[in-house]
Amino acid sequence: MSTDPDLVARLRPVRLPADFAAFDRSEVLAAAALGILAGLLLLALLHLVTRRRDTALTMARREIAAARLLPAEDRLFRQAALIDRLRRDAAPARQGTRPDSGAILREDIGASLYRPGTTPDLDAIDAAILTMARGRRRLRARA
């Protein structure tokens, strides 16, 4: 298909409104803002997918290290709260055939709290908590 040069010369230019022909500063800023928003959204999605989740063991180690700085009564309270959290997070995965080491630990703490004249061995409780945490899977993602 050949084109006639005369025919092409007689064609009128495309008519656009004056606002469409000019690319002004506000359009550049709007395009940049949309690009930045898209980048932030992509970054947030990648963070959700690739972030490292705490394991029960790392969470237990962090809580125990923070509790060591507290007085004995507060440390024992923190240990009991940690045991409860480990038990709660593992409850859906727990099977009926295996004994619940958290309940056993909790009973030991309760018995030592209410037995007059005895003080619980806090380091032994820490070791038992860490042993219990080693047997747990990854914790659910927390906000």
Residues 22 and 88 in one domain: no
Q: Which two tokens stand for residue 58?
A: 């790392």
Residues 39 and 65 in one domain: no
Provide the residue range defining the domain that includes 79: 56-134
Radius of gyration of the chain (CA): 33
Q: Is residue 63 part of a domain?
A: yes
Residues 64 and 118 in one domain: yes
Residues 34 and 80 in one domain: no
Indicate whether 90 pLDDT > 60. yes
Indicate whether 37 pLDDT > 90. yes
Task: Return the higher-pLDDT residue of 124 and 30.
Answer: 30
Q: Is residue 139 part of a domain?
A: no
Number of separate domains in the chain: 2
Q: Is residue 86 part of a domain?
A: yes
Indicate whether 42 pLDDT > 90. yes
Residues 73 and 105 in one domain: yes
- As a whole number, mean pLDDT of residues 30-54 equals 92
Residues 63 and 128 in one domain: yes
Residues 16 and 79 in one domain: no
- As a whole number, mean pLDDT of residues 95-117 equals 63
Q: Is residue 72 part of a domain?
A: yes
Residues 81 and 114 in one domain: yes
DSSP codes of every residue in the chain: ----HHHHHHSPPPP--HHHH---HHHHHHHHHHHHHHHHHHHHHHHHHHPPPPBHHHHHHHHHHHHTTS-HHHHHHHHHHHHHHHHHHHGGG--TTS--HHHHHHHHHHHHHHSTT----HHHHHHHHHHHHHT--BPPP--
pTM above 0.95, yes or no: no
Alpha-carbon distance 110 to 114, whole Å? 6
Residues 10 and 64 in one domain: no
23-37, 57-71, 90-104: which has the minimum mean pLDDT?
90-104
Torsion-angle region of residue 93: left (phi > 0), alpha (psi -120 to 50) or beta? Answer: alpha
